[in-house]
Amino acid sequence: MVKRTLYFGNPAYLKTKTEQLVIESAERDEPVTVPIEDIGLLIVDHAQVTITSGLMAKLLEKNVALVTCDATHHPTGLMLNLDGHTLQSKQFAAQLEAPLPVKKQLWQQTVTAKIYNQAMLLKQQGRENKLLLNYAKDVKSGDSENHEAKAAGYYWKNLFPPIIEFKRDRFGMPPNNMLNYGYAVLRAVVARSLVGSGLLPTLGIFHRNQYNAYCLADDIMEPYRPFVDKLICTMVNPLEPEFDLTPAHKKQLLTVPAMDVCVDGEKSPLMVAIQRTTASLAKCFEGKAKKIIYAELE
């Protein structure tokens, strides 16, 4: 089941009653209710949104990822359940004890999947992708030859029309703002799924920044970034390269969890595909599987 993504960009009072999210706002005469069990992601993007502690407890109990935005309306905070799996301590132990060779193999698979999806997106955009396909085939254990970075240089240079003169930079010119927002939504979905699989989002297989609380989420989201990029390619107008992140853009980017993707030859919503990915990762840590299941761009 695909969980709902709820976005609050106007003043509202959010509380809970009988397992329901109750929304009160000046825009509506009557409160609106949503079953909490149907929600996967809740984004707060206004300083005058009030959430009761009772509601926060219920959201976390149902493994809802609660995202807060800063003054520039970009996601900046993420709250997750600390007890998201019945065998959590066992899963934690397997993750913590995973040997280095296993982690290197998992990162090799992750980089290969990411570069392959980048290559498929370039193909869909009518651009040359043979170099990326070759990189994807030649990724070594732990990506010792840094094919991820080499592929990224070629990918970003060729993804958008030349007129945009795009350079990937988190603080750079548009459409970097769209990419940042889309990736933040994706990161929240991945982190939520990792918790649901009994894993620590903090402990990565490759990312190890001591200041990053979601290193594993940043690892596992890599092959899914091209799905966000694909959506943004449809939103970019090369004749009008100067554009702000509008409410309409946000509305489109919030559809990321429900995007159709392909997993093992079958169509699946992206959120469901990520759940399969994190479940397979947990099995790899336990020694019950050797391969992470990732969605593929067709």
Half-sphere exposure of 196 (CA within 13 A, CB side): 21
Confirm or deny that 148 is annotated as ligand binding: yes
Instruction: Enumerate helices (H) and strands (E) in the chain, giving the number of each.
Output: 10, 10
Query: Could you give the angle at the alpha carbon of 268 between the alpha carbons of 34 and 201, nearest 5°?
Result: 70
Kindly state the DSSP code that residue 142 receives in the 8-state scheme. Answer: G
Q: Are 258 and 40 in contact (CB under 8 A)?
A: no
Report residue 133 CA to chain centroid gap.
23
Token pair in block for residue 140? 């070594």
Q: Are 65 and 192 in contact (CB under 8 A)?
A: yes
How far from 248 is each of 13, 25, 243, 252, 254, CA to CA, in Å? 23, 21, 12, 6, 10
* Distance from the first to the final alpha carbon of the chain: 23
Token pair in block for residue 243? 């554009």
Token pair in block for residue 262? 């392909």
Confirm or deny that 222 is annotated as ligand binding: yes
Rounded to whole angstroms, how far apart are CA atoms 3 and 274?
Answer: 12
Rounded to whole angstroms, how far apart are CA atoms 198 and 279?
Answer: 9
Kindly state the DSSP code that residue 206 receives in the 8-state scheme. Answer: S
Residue 126's CB is within 10 A of a number of other CB atoms, namely 7
Rounded to whole angstroms, how far apart are CA atoms 274 and 69?
Answer: 23
> Residues, the chain, total?
298
Residue indicated by tokens 């069990």 = 37
Binding site per annotation, positions for Mn(2+):
148, 207, 222
Binding site per annotation, positions:
148, 207, 222
